[in-house]
Protein backbone atom coordinates (compact mmCIF):
# COMPACT_ATOMS: atom_id res chain seq x y z
CA UNK A 1 0.00 0.00 0.00
CA UNK A 2 1.28 3.47 -0.85
CA UNK A 3 2.03 6.09 1.81
CA UNK A 4 -1.10 8.00 0.76
CA UNK A 5 -3.22 4.89 1.19
CA UNK A 6 -1.74 4.16 4.62
CA UNK A 7 -2.44 7.71 5.81
CA UNK A 8 -6.01 7.45 4.49
CA UNK A 9 -6.56 4.13 6.28
CA UNK A 10 -5.23 5.50 9.58
CA UNK A 11 -7.40 8.62 9.24
CA UNK A 12 -10.46 6.43 8.56
CA UNK A 13 -9.74 4.24 11.60
CA UNK A 14 -9.16 7.17 13.96
CA UNK A 15 -12.17 9.06 12.57
CA UNK A 16 -14.64 6.18 12.95
CA UNK A 17 -13.55 5.15 16.45
CA UNK A 18 -13.39 8.76 17.65
CA UNK A 19 -16.82 9.44 16.16
CA UNK A 20 -18.19 6.36 17.97
CA UNK A 21 -16.90 7.57 21.36
CA UNK A 22 -18.09 11.16 20.79
CA UNK A 23 -21.50 9.91 19.66
CA UNK A 24 -21.82 7.79 22.82
CA UNK A 25 -20.88 10.84 24.93
CA UNK A 26 -23.39 13.11 23.19
CA UNK A 27 -26.14 10.52 23.61
CA UNK A 28 -26.18 11.33 27.33
CA UNK A 29 -27.34 14.85 26.35
CA UNK A 30 -29.62 13.73 23.52
CA UNK A 31 -31.42 11.21 25.70
CA UNK A 32 -32.22 13.75 28.40
CA UNK A 33 -33.35 16.33 25.85
CA UNK A 34 -35.63 13.93 24.00
CA UNK A 35 -37.06 12.49 27.23
CA UNK A 36 -37.78 16.04 28.34
CA UNK A 37 -39.63 16.79 25.09
CA UNK A 38 -41.65 13.56 25.15
CA UNK A 39 -42.53 13.90 28.85
CA UNK A 40 -43.40 17.61 28.53
CA UNK A 41 -40.64 18.95 30.79
CA UNK A 42 -37.28 20.68 30.50
CA UNK A 43 -34.16 18.71 29.71
CA UNK A 44 -30.61 20.07 30.14
CA UNK A 45 -30.85 23.75 29.16
CA UNK A 46 -28.56 25.73 31.48
CA UNK A 47 -24.96 24.82 30.60
CA UNK A 48 -24.15 26.19 27.16
CA UNK A 49 -26.53 26.63 24.20
CA UNK A 50 -29.40 24.11 24.46
CA UNK A 51 -27.52 22.53 27.37
CA UNK A 52 -24.86 21.07 25.03
CA UNK A 53 -22.05 21.72 27.50
CA UNK A 54 -23.81 19.51 30.05
CA UNK A 55 -21.77 16.63 28.57
CA UNK A 56 -18.54 18.48 29.40
CA UNK A 57 -19.79 19.23 32.91
CA UNK A 58 -20.65 15.56 33.44
CA UNK A 59 -17.20 14.48 32.25
CA UNK A 60 -15.49 16.93 34.60
CA UNK A 61 -17.63 15.66 37.46
CA UNK A 62 -16.78 12.01 36.70
CA UNK A 63 -13.05 12.75 36.51
CA UNK A 64 -13.22 14.74 39.78
CA UNK A 65 -14.91 11.93 41.68
CA UNK A 66 -12.80 9.80 44.01
CA UNK A 67 -11.65 6.65 42.21
CA UNK A 68 -12.55 4.32 45.07
CA UNK A 69 -11.97 0.57 45.04
CA UNK A 70 -13.83 -1.31 47.78
CA UNK A 71 -11.42 -3.05 50.19
CA UNK A 72 -13.46 -6.26 49.90
CA UNK A 73 -13.27 -6.33 46.06
CA UNK A 74 -11.01 -8.42 43.82
CA UNK A 75 -8.96 -5.39 42.79
CA UNK A 76 -7.38 -6.64 39.53
CA UNK A 77 -10.63 -7.94 38.05
CA UNK A 78 -12.55 -4.94 39.43
CA UNK A 79 -10.31 -2.57 37.47
CA UNK A 80 -10.19 -4.59 34.24
CA UNK A 81 -13.95 -5.27 33.94
CA UNK A 82 -15.07 -1.77 32.76
CA UNK A 83 -12.37 -1.70 30.08
CA UNK A 84 -13.62 -4.96 28.53
CA UNK A 85 -16.98 -3.55 27.45
CA UNK A 86 -15.35 -0.43 25.94
CA UNK A 87 -12.84 -2.51 23.97
CA UNK A 88 -15.47 -5.00 22.76
CA UNK A 89 -17.87 -2.30 21.58
CA UNK A 90 -15.14 -0.39 19.74
CA UNK A 91 -13.84 -3.61 18.16
CA UNK A 92 -17.36 -4.37 16.93
CA UNK A 93 -17.53 -0.89 15.36
CA UNK A 94 -14.42 -1.78 13.35
CA UNK A 95 -16.43 -4.00 10.97
CA UNK A 96 -19.29 -1.53 10.36
CA UNK A 97 -19.20 -0.29 6.73
CA UNK A 98 -20.05 3.41 7.05
CA UNK A 99 -19.84 4.20 3.32
CA UNK A 100 -18.06 2.93 0.19
CA UNK A 101 -14.36 3.02 1.00
CA UNK A 102 -14.94 4.16 4.59
CA UNK A 103 -14.46 1.58 7.31
CA UNK A 104 -11.85 0.23 9.69
CA UNK A 105 -11.85 -3.41 8.50
CA UNK A 106 -13.69 -5.46 5.91
CA UNK A 107 -13.37 -9.14 6.92
CA UNK A 108 -15.27 -11.87 5.09
CA UNK A 109 -16.82 -12.91 8.41
CA UNK A 110 -17.71 -9.43 9.67
CA UNK A 111 -21.11 -10.53 10.94
CA UNK A 112 -19.58 -13.37 12.97
CA UNK A 113 -17.00 -10.94 14.38
CA UNK A 114 -19.82 -8.63 15.50
CA UNK A 115 -21.55 -11.53 17.30
CA UNK A 116 -18.26 -12.55 18.93
CA UNK A 117 -17.60 -9.06 20.29
CA UNK A 118 -21.12 -8.67 21.70
CA UNK A 119 -20.75 -12.08 23.35
CA UNK A 120 -17.42 -11.09 24.95
CA UNK A 121 -19.01 -7.91 26.31
CA UNK A 122 -21.03 -10.10 28.69
CA UNK A 123 -17.78 -10.91 30.53
CA UNK A 124 -17.40 -7.25 31.47
CA UNK A 125 -20.69 -7.19 33.34
CA UNK A 126 -20.21 -10.64 34.86
CA UNK A 127 -16.67 -9.97 36.07
CA UNK A 128 -17.60 -6.51 37.37
CA UNK A 129 -20.43 -7.93 39.47
CA UNK A 130 -18.34 -10.85 40.70
CA UNK A 131 -15.29 -8.76 41.58
CA UNK A 132 -17.37 -6.24 43.54
CA UNK A 133 -18.06 -8.90 46.19
CA UNK A 134 -21.48 -7.33 46.78
CA UNK A 135 -24.80 -9.15 46.82
CA UNK A 136 -26.53 -6.50 44.72
CA UNK A 137 -23.74 -6.38 42.14
CA UNK A 138 -23.52 -10.18 41.97
CA UNK A 139 -27.28 -10.53 41.50
CA UNK A 140 -27.22 -7.93 38.72
CA UNK A 141 -24.29 -9.71 37.06
CA UNK A 142 -26.06 -13.08 37.16
CA UNK A 143 -29.19 -11.52 35.68
CA UNK A 144 -27.14 -9.91 32.95
CA UNK A 145 -25.28 -13.11 32.10
CA UNK A 146 -28.50 -15.10 31.76
CA UNK A 147 -30.19 -12.33 29.76
CA UNK A 148 -27.32 -11.70 27.36
CA UNK A 149 -26.52 -15.38 26.74
CA UNK A 150 -30.20 -16.14 26.12
CA UNK A 151 -30.87 -13.28 23.72
CA UNK A 152 -27.60 -13.84 21.85
CA UNK A 153 -29.09 -17.15 20.71
CA UNK A 154 -32.12 -15.43 19.18
CA UNK A 155 -29.99 -12.65 17.71
CA UNK A 156 -27.74 -15.13 15.91
CA UNK A 157 -30.63 -17.20 14.57
CA UNK A 158 -32.49 -14.06 13.46
CA UNK A 159 -29.45 -12.86 11.48
CA UNK A 160 -29.17 -16.11 9.54
CA UNK A 161 -32.10 -15.07 7.35
CA UNK A 162 -30.09 -12.07 6.12
CA UNK A 163 -27.07 -14.31 5.49
CA UNK A 164 -29.18 -16.69 3.41
CA UNK A 165 -30.67 -13.91 1.30
CA UNK A 166 -27.36 -12.04 0.79
CA UNK A 167 -25.24 -15.18 0.50
CA UNK A 168 -22.42 -13.71 2.59
CA UNK A 169 -21.21 -12.90 6.12
CA UNK A 170 -19.43 -9.82 4.79
CA UNK A 171 -21.29 -6.68 5.93
CA UNK A 172 -20.25 -4.65 2.88
CA UNK A 173 -21.59 -7.35 0.56
CA UNK A 174 -24.80 -7.48 2.58
CA UNK A 175 -25.29 -3.74 2.02
CA UNK A 176 -24.58 -4.07 -1.71
CA UNK A 177 -27.08 -6.95 -1.92
CA UNK A 178 -29.80 -4.48 -0.86
CA UNK A 179 -29.35 -2.28 -3.94
CA UNK A 180 -32.54 -3.82 -5.40
CA UNK A 181 -34.50 -3.57 -2.16
CA UNK A 182 -33.91 -3.34 1.58
CA UNK A 183 -34.01 -6.59 3.56
CA UNK A 184 -36.59 -5.14 5.95
CA UNK A 185 -39.28 -6.33 3.51
CA UNK A 186 -38.36 -10.03 3.05
CA UNK A 187 -36.83 -10.28 6.54
CA UNK A 188 -39.27 -8.31 8.67
CA UNK A 189 -39.60 -11.14 11.19
CA UNK A 190 -35.81 -11.43 11.42
CA UNK A 191 -35.64 -7.65 11.92
CA UNK A 192 -38.14 -7.90 14.80
CA UNK A 193 -36.12 -10.67 16.46
CA UNK A 194 -32.84 -8.77 16.04
CA UNK A 195 -34.35 -5.53 17.36
CA UNK A 196 -35.70 -7.15 20.54
CA UNK A 197 -32.47 -9.08 21.09
CA UNK A 198 -30.45 -5.89 20.52
CA UNK A 199 -32.44 -4.03 23.17
CA UNK A 200 -31.82 -6.87 25.62
CA UNK A 201 -28.11 -7.05 24.72
CA UNK A 202 -27.59 -3.33 25.33
CA UNK A 203 -29.52 -3.40 28.67
CA UNK A 204 -31.88 -0.68 27.54
CA UNK A 205 -35.36 -0.14 28.90
CA UNK A 206 -37.59 -2.03 29.10
CA UNK A 207 -34.90 -4.75 29.38
CA UNK A 208 -32.55 -3.03 31.87
CA UNK A 209 -33.25 -5.59 34.59
CA UNK A 210 -29.53 -6.24 35.33
CA UNK A 211 -29.41 -2.70 36.75
CA UNK A 212 -32.99 -2.31 37.98
CA UNK A 213 -32.66 0.43 40.60
CA UNK A 214 -35.99 -0.37 42.26
CA UNK A 215 -34.80 -3.90 43.11
CA UNK A 216 -30.99 -4.18 43.24
CA UNK A 217 -29.72 -0.59 43.71
CA UNK A 218 -27.72 -0.29 40.45
CA UNK A 219 -26.94 -3.90 39.70
CA UNK A 220 -23.50 -4.91 38.49
CA UNK A 221 -21.97 -1.40 38.77
CA UNK A 222 -23.23 -0.59 42.28
CA UNK A 223 -19.70 -0.40 43.73
CA UNK A 224 -18.14 1.52 40.83
CA UNK A 225 -17.29 5.22 40.85
CA UNK A 226 -15.37 7.85 38.90
CA UNK A 227 -14.01 6.91 35.48
CA UNK A 228 -14.66 3.18 35.86
CA UNK A 229 -18.37 3.92 36.27
CA UNK A 230 -18.10 6.28 33.29
CA UNK A 231 -16.67 3.47 31.15
CA UNK A 232 -19.66 1.25 31.94
CA UNK A 233 -21.94 4.19 31.16
CA UNK A 234 -20.28 5.04 27.83
CA UNK A 235 -20.11 1.33 26.97
CA UNK A 236 -23.89 1.11 27.24
CA UNK A 237 -24.38 4.06 24.88
CA UNK A 238 -21.80 2.58 22.50
CA UNK A 239 -23.97 -0.54 22.50
CA UNK A 240 -27.03 1.53 21.55
CA UNK A 241 -25.17 3.17 18.65
CA UNK A 242 -23.71 -0.20 17.58
CA UNK A 243 -27.07 -2.00 17.48
CA UNK A 244 -28.63 0.94 15.62
CA UNK A 245 -25.81 0.90 13.05
CA UNK A 246 -26.17 -2.88 12.61
CA UNK A 247 -29.93 -2.59 12.09
CA UNK A 248 -29.30 -0.01 9.37
CA UNK A 249 -26.57 -2.14 7.78
CA UNK A 250 -28.51 -5.40 7.78
CA UNK A 251 -32.10 -4.34 7.12
CA UNK A 252 -32.25 -0.74 5.87
CA UNK A 253 -29.66 -0.63 3.10
CA UNK A 254 -26.75 0.82 5.06
CA UNK A 255 -25.41 3.84 3.16
CA UNK A 256 -27.74 3.30 0.15
CA UNK A 257 -30.07 6.16 -0.71
CA UNK A 258 -30.77 8.80 -3.38
CA UNK A 259 -29.40 12.36 -3.71
CA UNK A 260 -27.53 12.65 -0.40
CA UNK A 261 -23.95 11.40 0.08
CA UNK A 262 -23.74 7.77 1.35
CA UNK A 263 -22.27 8.68 4.73
CA UNK A 264 -25.14 11.12 5.35
CA UNK A 265 -27.70 8.40 4.65
CA UNK A 266 -25.94 6.01 7.04
CA UNK A 267 -25.73 8.58 9.85
CA UNK A 268 -29.34 9.71 9.34
CA UNK A 269 -30.76 6.18 9.47
CA UNK A 270 -28.64 5.34 12.52
CA UNK A 271 -29.79 8.51 14.29
CA UNK A 272 -33.44 7.57 13.74
CA UNK A 273 -32.96 4.21 15.43
CA UNK A 274 -31.03 5.78 18.31
CA UNK A 275 -34.02 8.06 18.89
CA UNK A 276 -36.27 4.97 18.79
CA UNK A 277 -34.18 3.36 21.56
CA UNK A 278 -34.58 6.50 23.64
CA UNK A 279 -38.33 6.65 22.99
CA UNK A 280 -38.70 3.12 24.41
CA UNK A 281 -37.40 4.41 27.74
CA UNK A 282 -40.11 7.06 27.83
CA UNK A 283 -42.97 4.85 26.68
CA UNK A 284 -42.68 1.22 27.85
CA UNK A 285 -42.69 -0.08 31.45
CA UNK A 286 -40.16 -2.63 32.71
CA UNK A 287 -41.36 -6.28 32.88
CA UNK A 288 -40.51 -8.77 35.60
CA UNK A 289 -37.35 -10.78 35.11
CA UNK A 290 -39.21 -14.08 34.73
CA UNK A 291 -41.42 -12.48 32.07
CA UNK A 292 -38.32 -11.34 30.18
CA UNK A 293 -36.80 -14.83 30.12
CA UNK A 294 -40.11 -16.53 29.29
CA UNK A 295 -40.68 -14.09 26.42
CA UNK A 296 -37.28 -15.01 25.00
CA UNK A 297 -37.45 -18.79 25.16
CA UNK A 298 -41.18 -19.27 24.59
CA UNK A 299 -41.78 -16.68 21.84
CA UNK A 300 -38.52 -15.32 20.39
CA UNK A 301 -36.86 -18.70 19.85
CA UNK A 302 -39.77 -20.31 17.95
CA UNK A 303 -40.28 -17.17 15.85
CA UNK A 304 -36.57 -17.00 14.96
CA UNK A 305 -36.47 -20.70 14.02
CA UNK A 306 -39.63 -20.45 11.89
CA UNK A 307 -38.23 -17.41 10.08
CA UNK A 308 -34.99 -19.28 9.37
CA UNK A 309 -36.88 -22.34 8.14
CA UNK A 310 -39.16 -20.34 5.83
CA UNK A 311 -36.27 -18.25 4.48
CA UNK A 312 -34.25 -21.38 3.72
CA UNK A 313 -37.26 -22.99 2.02
CA UNK A 314 -37.92 -19.95 -0.14
CA UNK A 315 -34.25 -19.67 -1.14
CA UNK A 316 -34.16 -23.34 -2.16
CA UNK A 317 -37.40 -22.95 -4.13
CA UNK A 318 -36.12 -19.86 -5.94
CA UNK A 319 -32.72 -21.12 -6.89
Q: Report pLDDT digits (tens) over 244-275.
A: 999 999 999 888 888 889 999 999 999 999 99
For the chain, list the strands marked E by DSSP. none
Give tens-digit pLDDT for 164-210: 999 889 999 999 999 888 999 999 999 999 999 888 888 777 777 66
Share of the chain above pLDDT 90, in %: 21
pLDDT at 236 over 80: yes
pLDDT band of 302, cuts 50, 70, 90: very high
pLDDT band of 113, cuts 50, 70, 90: very high
Count CA within 13 A, CB hemisphere, residue 8.
8
Tell me the β-bridge partners of 102.
Answer: 99
25-49: buried (b, 16+ CB within 10 Å) or exposed (e) per residue? bebbbbbbbbebeeeeeebbeeeee
- pTM above threshold 0.85: yes
The pLDDT score that the predictor gives to residue 119 is 86
pLDDT at 276 over 80: yes
The pLDDT score that the predictor gives to residue 218 is 64
Give tens-digit pLDDT for 306-319: 999 999 999 889 87
pLDDT at 290 over 60: yes
Please check whether residue 206 is in contact with residue 286, taking contact to mean a CB–CB distance below 8 angstroms.
Answer: yes
What number is the average pLDDT over the span 58-84? Answer: 83
pLDDT at 43 over 60: yes
pLDDT at 78 over 60: yes
Closest CA to 77 of 224, 279, 236, 234: 224
**Inter-helix orientation angle 226-251/54-64, to 10°:** 140
pLDDT at 230 over 90: no
pLDDT at 81 over 90: no
pLDDT at 3 over 60: no
pLDDT at 34 over 60: yes
Contacts of residue 282, Cβ cutoff 8 Å, sequence gap at least 6: 34, 35, 38, 39
Task: Tell me what the pLDDT averaged over the chain comes to.
Answer: 84
The pLDDT score that the predictor gives to residue 1 is 52
Please check whether residue 105 is in contact with residue 95, taking contact to mean a CB–CB distance below 8 angstroms.
Answer: yes
| Radius of gyration (C-alpha) of the chain in whole angstroms | 20
Amino acid sequence: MSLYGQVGSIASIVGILLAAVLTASMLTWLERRLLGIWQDRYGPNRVGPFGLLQVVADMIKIFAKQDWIPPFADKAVFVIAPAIIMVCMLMAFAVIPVAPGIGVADPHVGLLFFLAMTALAAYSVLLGGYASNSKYALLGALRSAAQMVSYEVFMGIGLMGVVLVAGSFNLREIVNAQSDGWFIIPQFVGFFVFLIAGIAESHRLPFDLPEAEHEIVAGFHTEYSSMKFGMFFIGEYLGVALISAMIVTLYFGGWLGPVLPPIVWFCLKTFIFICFFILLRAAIPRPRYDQLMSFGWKLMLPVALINLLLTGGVMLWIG
